Structure 1
């Protein structure tokens, strides 16, 4: 995002209900991440609508700001990185592998996260608006002690070296359970094309199995999976069955601000992945 285009920045800030920060400090980063999490949904609907997804900065901004949609990690963190840079933050894209069942690691470029430097001498910070149910606030990337967050106790530790060279990988844990393994080397947006292609096409990817749309709330989380609306408030979980297509489309609009003219298909719809 060109920092000389304030109207683009202002439109993004309006989208997430935030004001332009006076300086790129930790307090501003914290507020921007929270606003993003509570307004822009984590969703994989493009896969199930047959929509093209372009891993190019302007296309991501158009989707989130102009079309008022969400996305998954590559889209959400890619666009958020552009906003932060335009506001004066120094941002580096990082790749991560998600810890799955039985401790298995996902593919390289499984996830995108952000290393953010502020002008107040704190950090650097691990910011993330694209991992679904994760930390509400940015985490101090260099802190190896538990970090308290409204969503749990997070800890960033050195990952074990399992053969090959040691690049200083880090495991991000939530309440003692590993979430993803972070590679600290800087990456470019185009580097994530392979991971994005896998998650849009592979039957082994959870994203191709069914449509999902989810966002943070001030008290928990709200998620729409197919015809099921799931609401979490603290430790309580409520499920509502939506019987008609009209009810599902209305739920997308009401709870996520997403206006669709048709329901996403239950299976992937042959989406292509390009880089612009």
Structure 2
């Protein structure tokens, strides 16, 4: 995927990013954090019966010109194009998501993550909803970010990403292979994603990091998290959801409708 200079400027404006652009770890960290705060993870197209189109121009139209969010393939795919345009070395990696927080994982290639090579290798993911805020070193260990602790460790031929919870549990988020993938592999998968039976096909999910926590719209619930505290509110009519999509996520009225 390639990106024109004017597209790069538009993308950075969409993110509200005004920091350095040299391909350094500091730039990567700031871009990662800003992307999570500006572009939500959301499944509105899935619920509206609109197929996921992973060609670059379509992604740019949706996420940048259309002021939308998207699923992991979309968010990480376009973010990879941005990083490459800035001079970063980026590799696509295939991940398998854990629905239960433990083994077995869902079969097949169900999520896209990125490996960015600087002096060291880093795990990058701006498309998983509530995961890590900053890139994680791609070496085994426990890594803190924004008050949460994440665990990375090899597990057979794959790597496991897990997150420590306040109750002492450490559920798996996903596993991933270090084998490089081609963008064509991702495009082919996107034609039928998410698979039948996926929770993404059943209820609304829209979530975005905020400077002090996270805001999530899940089904009929608005969930506000800040400083370890969580407040949930049940919603009323669809008009209220439309209002919240606009006020919290910048998504225009009518986003919930089908094509």
- TM-score, normalised with respect to structure 1: 0.85
Alignment of 1:1-276 (within 5 A): 1-3=1-3, 5-19=4-18, 21-101=20-100, 102-118=102-118, 121=119, 123-141=120-138, 143-160=139-156, 168-175=157-164, 176-193=170-187, 195-197=189-191, 199-203=193-197, 205-261=198-254, 263-264=256-257
CA contact (8 A) 1:107 1:195 kept: no
| Aligned-residue offset at 1:213 | 0.7
Please give the secondary structure, in 1, of the residue aligned with 2:179. strand
Query: 3-state DSSP class of the match of 2:176?
Result: strand
Conserved 8 A contact 1:211-1:264: no
SS at match of 2:93: strand
Q: Measure the CA separation in 2 of the matches of 1:132 and 1:95.
A: 17
1:22 deviates by 3.8
Kept in 1, the 8 Å contact 2:95–2:174? The answer is yes
Against the structure 1 CA distance between its residues 261 and 140, is the aligned structure 2 distance closer, same or farther, given a 3 Å change threshold?
A: same
RMSD: 1.9
Shift of the 242–132 alpha-carbon distance from structure 1 to 2, 3 Å rule, reads: same
Aligned positions, number: 253
- After TM superposition, where is structure 1 displaced by more than 6 Å over at least 4 residues in a row? none
CA contact 1:154–1:173 (8 Å) conserved in 2: yes
C-alpha distance after superposition, 1:30-81 (max 9, x if no partner): 0000000011000011011122321222211221111010111100000100
Change (3 A) 1:262 1:69: closer
Q: Distance in 1 between matches of 2:54 and 2:2?
A: 17
Give the Cα separation in 2 of the matches to 1:263 and 1:59: 19
- TM-score w.r.t. the length of structure 2 is 0.91
Alpha-carbon distance between aligned partners in 2 of 1:73 and 1:87, rounded to the nearest angstrom? 21
CA contact (8 A) 2:20 2:27 kept: yes
Work out whether residues 10 and 20 of structure 1, in 8 Å CA contact, stay in contact via their aligned partners in 2.
no
